[in-house]
Amino acid sequence: MYRDLNNQTERELRDYFQERDYMVVAVPKEELIRVYTLRARRTAESARRLHQLRSKPAEALGYSILSALLLTSLVKHATTQKVLFKMQNTCGVVVAEADGKGRVRGFLEGSPQDCWGEGTINVVKELKLGTPYTSIVPVVGRDFQEALSFYFEQSEQTRSYLRLLFSLEEDGSVREAGAYLVQVLSGVSPKSVELLEENVRALSLEGKRPEEVASEILRGMEPRLIGLKEVEYYCPCSEEIARSSLMLLEQEELEDILSEGPAEVVCKFCKRVYRFSREQLML
């Protein structure tokens, strides 16, 4: 896919996606710069409502979802290859998983935001090529944005610029959720880097659509649209997956569970409940 990211393209994207969430992938005409811009308000609100979160816990899950979606820059576009973002410390854990098609899910346990600055960030890339690639870095910085920036600096070793925007309404619902990631590859001219940094410093995410953000980041560099994907909260759990998880238990442990009634599996990502009798498990 390739189109000049001009006013006409921006109008067409606005008309097509309207209020749906999506990600734009753009590049300048000449330089090796990749730009990923994202809107995920509805997706983050779906996660918040599903997990019944408010205030800081809602923010922690929202920022994690944005982080996981930006990290899909590490997997092949429009595929089921996955990337998992996990921040864990003594106060809890927050997890978000996204794939190359823009599908994301997450959950939170405890209050990891209460122990900020402790613990680690784990990023796992499942490339369908065998053993997943795992990278672990300490939580560094004052917030998710700085912590994710440190991850890219340490693990990807690519000059990166990123920003996360997440805010809540007074009633606790999500007002805005958006982000961008800019990756500067080797060989980019100092003049282009200077222009890019100038554009980023002047940029505000509030109230802007992904194509508008991409155009502003690449102003003066003839931006081109090379990728699009709709973003949604999606959990692929199923009865078969839930049954398989039970069958991993030791026979004695499973018998103890069934002695008190049907075995129950609750998906952490979507809260769906699966119940199995002894007959259903063929025991």
Residues 186 and 254 in one domain: no
At residue 77, the pLDDT reads 86
Q: Within the chain, how many helices (H) and strands (E) appear?
A: 8, 14
Residue 68 burial (CB < 10 Å; 0-12/13-18/19+)? buried
Indicate the helix (H) or strand (E) that contains 205.
none
Residues 131 and 153 in one domain: yes
At residue 156, the pLDDT reads 85
Indicate the helix (H) or strand (E) that contains 167.
strand 159-168
Residues 26 and 116 in one domain: yes
Task: Look at residue 74 and tell me if it is in a domain.
Answer: yes
- What are the Cα distances from residue 56, in Å, to 87, 114, 167, 205? 15, 9, 10, 21
Residues 143 and 256 in one domain: no
Task: Look at residue 268 and tell me if it is in a domain.
Answer: yes
At residue 221, the pLDDT reads 96
CATH of residue 29's domain is 3.55.30.10
At residue 115, the pLDDT reads 94
Task: Look at residue 111 and tell me if it is in a domain.
Answer: yes
Tens digit of each residue's pLDDT (9 = 90 or more) over 4-31 = 999 999 999 999 999 999 999 999 999 9
- Per-position DSSP letters for 13-36, written without gaps between them: HHHHHTTS-EEEEEEESSS-EEEE
Residues 201 and 258 in one domain: no
Residues 145 and 246 in one domain: no
Task: Look at residue 282 and tell me if it is in a domain.
Answer: no
The stretches in the chain having pLDDT less than 70 are 1, 283
At residue 283, the pLDDT reads 54
Indicate the helix (H) or strand (E) that contains 150.
helix 144-151
Contact at 8 Å (CB) between 103 and 97?
A: no
Residues 89 and 222 in one domain: yes
At residue 38, the pLDDT reads 97
At residue 188, the pLDDT reads 94
At residue 168, the pLDDT reads 97
Residues 141 and 157 in one domain: yes
Residues 179 and 244 in one domain: no
**To the nearest 10°, the Cα dihedral for 79, 34, 94, 81?**
10
Residues 93 and 224 in one domain: yes
At residue 213, the pLDDT reads 98
Task: Look at residue 131 and tell me if it is in a domain.
Answer: yes
Residues 248 and 150 in one domain: no
pTM: 0.94
Residues 168 and 33 in one domain: yes
Task: Look at residue 257 and tell me if it is in a domain.
Answer: yes
At residue 257, the pLDDT reads 87
Distance CA 152, CA 155 (A): 5
Task: Look at residue 281 and tell me if it is in a domain.
Answer: no
Q: Which domain holds residue 177?
A: 3-233
User: What's the total number of domains in the chain?
Assistant: 2
Q: What is the mean pLDDT of the chain?
A: 94
